Structure formats: structure tokens, C-alpha cells
Amino acid sequence: MEPSQLTPKDRGKWAASNAALAYIKDGMTLGLGTGSTADIFIQQLAGHVQSEGISITCVATSNRSTQLAKSLGLNVADFSAVEKIDLCVDGADLVDAKKRLIKGYGGACTREKIVEYSSGKLLIIADDSKRAAVLSGAVPVEFLPFAGRVVESGLRKLGAKKMELRTIAEGRPSMTDNGFWIVNADFGKIANPLKLEEAINNIDGVLENGLFARRPADIVIFGSSNGKVQKK
């Protein structure tokens, strides 16, 4: 049952998350994404596992998702301890017509990409506002703080029009689970997401970036504020 007092956007996330439960099977090893939409899915997943009496193993893409999943009674294993991941379910910050993605506003693009690129299937859940004809705007780039100047120069050469270091309280840089920093690099409309994904990762000091073009999503479920969903 949908909780009361959800925002229209969260109602869309809730609807998409609820539809994703149909893909969860007994005995599955499931990747869990990170972010506000993933949080909703993890909550729904815990209830689904309990009500259906099924057994699954989860691999989380962040400390945040690990803690939430464990607090709800889900079985969470380390990525290194599983042989394969059958399905990964995650949100996205933008989805284009070819199911390529911008992800990582939740600060976990590196672990998300490792888990999702190695999964048998990638299922993306999102509210309607995340749909776009082409990818554009800010791309999260996780980088070694030591290499900040080199990374900034490299991103500008690739066409970044604006860069903003992600910060927390008092303007201090936000640190990822990997001990790195993140800069949001705005490239405007991205003509070739795959080429840009590869080029960003070739900059010395970059760990990973939030363009998911080499492995687009297999399934995308968009949820709307009226509770309806559309699958691609």
C-alpha cells in the first residue's frame, strides 16, 4: 500500500518500484542501487520478501543502501562473495531514448557501475521527470583529491561548461565511500555519451563517472504521479 503524504514525484517513484517487484524471484542474487528511488525500492523489497516468503541475496552499491537493507532484515552479502548478480534494480538521474543513463547524484556512481555492468540484467526505476530525449547536464565524476587540478583541466578540454565540487556542511568536500571526491561536470547536450564516458575515465586521477552508456539499461520502468507506469 502506498504511504500517505507522498509528493507527486515520490508517488511516481513508488509506482515504478512496486512494478519492479514482479521481476524478483526466489533464490535470486539482487543488486541494490543507491539514492532516493533505491531507498523506496529497498523498503518495498523488504516487505515483498517477507510477505511472499522468498529468499534472496542482496549486493548493495553503497554503505547507505547496505545499512538500510540490513535494518529491514534483508540478507546483504559483499560483492566479492557472490559468483553472479542476476538482476540489479536502481534509480537514475536521467534516461534517454536509448536507455542510456546519467547516474550518481547519490554519490555512488563507481560502485553502481561495477555492480550494474556485471549484472545479468539492469532494471531502472524512475519517475517521469527523469525521461529525456538526449542526455544533458551535470555528470558526476569521482576523482582522487590529489589530482583535482589535472581532472579540472581534463574535463574542460572535453567540453565541460561548468564544474561544481560536491560539498557538505560548511563547504567541506563530500567524500565517497571510496574516499574520493565528486565534481559535477556540466557538458550541456551530450552528442556521444559512450565516447564521453570513456574519455572522462581516461583523465589521470578519475576513478569513474556517472555516464552509463557502455551498458544501457535492459528495462526501464517510469512511474507517474497518478500511479500508472510505463515500461521500456
Cβ-Cβ contacts under 8 Å for 47 (sequence gap 6 or more): none
In the residue annotation, 112 being an active-site residue is answered as: yes
Q: Quote the cell numbers at residue 123.
A: 532494471
Integer Rg of the chain from CA: 17
> Given 112, 116, 142, 152, which residue is catalytic?
112
Rounded Cα–Cα distance for residues 63 and 45 (Å): 18
Cα within 13 Å of Cα(123), Cβ side: 23
What amino acid positions are annotated as catalytic residues?
112
